[in-house]
Structure 1
Amino acid sequence: MLRTFVLAAALAVATAGAANAQSDLVKRGDYLVNTIMTCGNCHSPKGPQGDIPGKHFSGGLSWDEPPFKVTAPNVTEDKETGIGSWTDAQIKHLLRTGVRPNGVPIAAVMPVGFYKIITDRDMDAIVAYLRTLQPIKNKVPDPVYRFPAKSQTPPGAEKEYTAAMLKDPVKHGFYLATIGHCFECHTPMGPKGHDWKFYGMGGMEFPGPWGKSVSRNITESKTKGIGAWTDAQIKTAITTGVDKDGAHLKPPMGFGYYAHMTDGDIHDIIAYLRTVPAKE
């Protein structure tokens, strides 16, 4: 009788521990997806006031570019129009490689090249959070691929980071800036894609309902970049969309998402940005 009680108690403790671990993963995934990774910026449909309530992650922005014509897909748990029928391994494979379960590559607008750096634990957390999304039936248009175009990987992000590496503030800042694909927008494009010689120099144009925005130089240049900005001014720009001169930044900069990041994470991103060589 005592043995049965002990076994039952041990099983209850183990079950509670597993539940707590899963809860921690979901919380971490929620934080990553809804802050630095800004997934809803593309995957949630937009209305005049922003994301359409009740439709989060059910399919979003569209792009009609020379290589492809695509719409950000539904990533809710709907089995027919979302990813509810995918396995965890298939979701991770897509995020690591950009290849769907049916073997078809996704468009290069999805920054999977920046996701190679994601730790195993954070990848588990992202998938755990996606599994909590309410299934919403919404079929987006099928993609049209005109010619191959691969997502590029920025220098230093070619392989997965370890937990030990994230203890260093600058490396942690690089990690966050990379999974947040900041330099996807803040590095100019050439005929063959991003030209990493001009890493962080900005200059890409983004037309939209806001008019046309141009990505800023975020190198340490004191005249063209943010080298003359204080840490507080950089933090304000990241989290509120207001630059050091009081001008309001335009989308698709995801400052509404970054506003919910921890002070520690913002501090480390700024610490990393301070290391980006000046480019004019």
Structure 2
Amino acid sequence: MNKLRSFILASTILAVPALADTPQVARGQYLVDVVMQCGTCHDTPDARGRADPAMRQAGGRVFANVGLRAVTPNITPDPDTGIGAWTAAQFADAMRNGRRPDGSLIGPPMPVEAYRGISDGDLAAVWAYLRTIPPVRNPVTERSSFPRSPTRFEPVATVPAPPGDDPVRRGEYLAVTLLHCMDCHSPRVALDRADPARIGAGGRVFQTPSGPLPARNITPHPDAGIGAWTEAEVWRVVAEGIGRDGRRLYLTMGSRAAGWARMTEGDRADLLAYLRALPPLE
């Protein structure tokens, strides 16, 4: 009963109307466009595979890798082909519990495991901002297919914000939840679950035109990880997509660097504090 009451309360908070110029919407824009960069997956690609500015968050991008074929949905407020007809509670259920309004499960690359930890305030901000973007009519009829069913997570009702006086906890919230760094930088124990004993130790392998590419160890181990890296070297990777050896990075780290370069100084400092606090794993 307490869980149900908390879920109803959280849903009520999410449902409060928000104007386009409110601090809540501004926070949502920062989260969606800078930190979480939802458009990396949800912006509709043009004929050359690049994001079409007129099709922001309209879906249709395909990700295919080792038996998985994921097709991103339209998350604009279009009522017929997007999420305009969803309720705030249904949006929360999709984000945190990986479940669509029709009951079907959402699988990778949607980082449901990470987003289970999104705070009530940030979830409300994301919802408020998405309701202000232009609705785009773009039917995405193909559903994703996976080698096995996505994890059925226990419902999450409410999540508090990380304490404001603890940079490591705030950095953990950024890395694990909003940026979902550990979705790539930790080995997997399931299709959509990271190994809790090896957080940040790297090892997840991605297929690139140059061959298999393992995500690197980002724990503070001095040899296997980034323990010997300077702060400037860490931020060059995050904000410029350039590795310690000067090479431009592939995949997420390269494609999202321009957005992450706009992260606030406070968020940068918190993220680094968390990475430095991880156990140094080989």
Asked if TM exceeds 0.5, the reply is yes
User: 2:78: which partner in 1?
Assistant: 78
Aligned letter for 1:220?
A: P
Residue type matched to 2:262 in 1?
Answer: H
| Counterpart Cα distance in 1 of 2:189 and 2:150 | 13
Aligned equivalent of 2:43: 44
Question: How far, CA to CA, are the matches of 1:151 and 1:115 in structure 2?
Answer: 14
Q: Is the 8 A contact 2:171 2:273 kept in 1?
A: yes
TM-score w.r.t. the length of structure 1 is 0.82
Deviation at 1:71, TM superposition (A): 0.2
* TM-aligned CA deviation for residue 185 of structure 1: 0.4
Instruction: Give secondary structure in 2 for the equivalent of 1:70.
Output: strand
- CA deviations over 1:95-150 (Å, ceiling 9, x no partner): 12111111111114311121122221111100001101211111221334553221
Say if 1:201 and 1:279, in contact at 8 Å, map to a contact too: yes
Q: 1:112 to 1:19 in 2, by over 3 A?
A: closer
Q: Is it true that 1:171 corresponds to 2:198 in the alignment?
A: no
Q: How does 1:214-229 map to 2 (within 5 A)?
A: 214-229=214-229
Aligned to 2:270: 268
Output the CA distance in 2 between the equivalents of 1:81 and 1:20.
23
- Are the aligned partners of 1:30 and 1:129 in contact in 2 as well (CA < 8 Å)? yes
Gaps of 5+ in 2: 1-16
Contact 2:120/2:161 (<8 A) preserved: no
**How do residues 37-116 of structure 1 correspond to structure 2 at under 5 angstroms?**
37-47=36-46, 48=48, 50-64=50-64, 69-116=69-116
Query: Are residues 191 and 144 of structure 1, via their aligned partners in 2, closer, same or farther at CA, if it must alter by over 3 Å?
Result: closer
Alignment of 1:79-228 (within 5 A): 79-140=79-140, 141-144=142-145, 147-150=148-151, 161-163=159-161, 165-178=163-176, 179-190=178-189, 193-207=193-207, 213-228=213-228
SS at match of 2:207: strand
Residue 202 of structure 1: how far off its partner (Å) = 1.3
Identical aligned residues as a percent? 38
- State the 1:92 CA deviation: 1.3
Give how far 1:256 is off.
2.2
Mapped to 1, the partners of 2:123 and 2:184 lie a distance apart of 23
Query: Which range moved further: 162-171 or 181-190?
Result: 162-171
Deviation of the 1:210 alpha carbon = 7.9
Two-structure CA RMSD over aligned residues (Å):
2.7
Q: What is the identity, as a one-letter code, of the residue corresponding to 1:137?
A: R
Deviation, structure 1 residue 33: 0.9
**Offset at 1:63?**
3.3
Q: Which has the larger radius of gyration?
A: 1
Aligned residues between the structures: 259
Structure 1 segments unaligned to the other structure (5+ residues): 1-17
Secondary structure at the counterpart of residue 167 of structure 1: coil
Partner of 2:31: 32
Moved more, 58-67 or 197-206: 58-67
Structure 2 CA distance for partners of 1:209 and 1:46, relative to 1, 3 Å: farther
**What amino acid is aligned across from residue 176 of structure 1 in structure 2?**
L
- Determine if contact 1:220/1:273 at 8 Å carries over to the other structure: yes
Equivalent pair of 1:187/1:202 in contact (CA under 8 Å): yes
Instruction: State the one-letter code of the partner of 1:169.
Output: P
The 3 A distance-change label for structure 1 pair 144 and 242 is closer
Amino acid at match of 1:266: R
**In the aligned structure 1, how far is the partner of 2:18 from the partner of 2:199?**
42
The answer as to whether partners of 2:67 and 2:146 remain within 8 angstroms in 1 is yes
Give 1:276 shift: 1.1
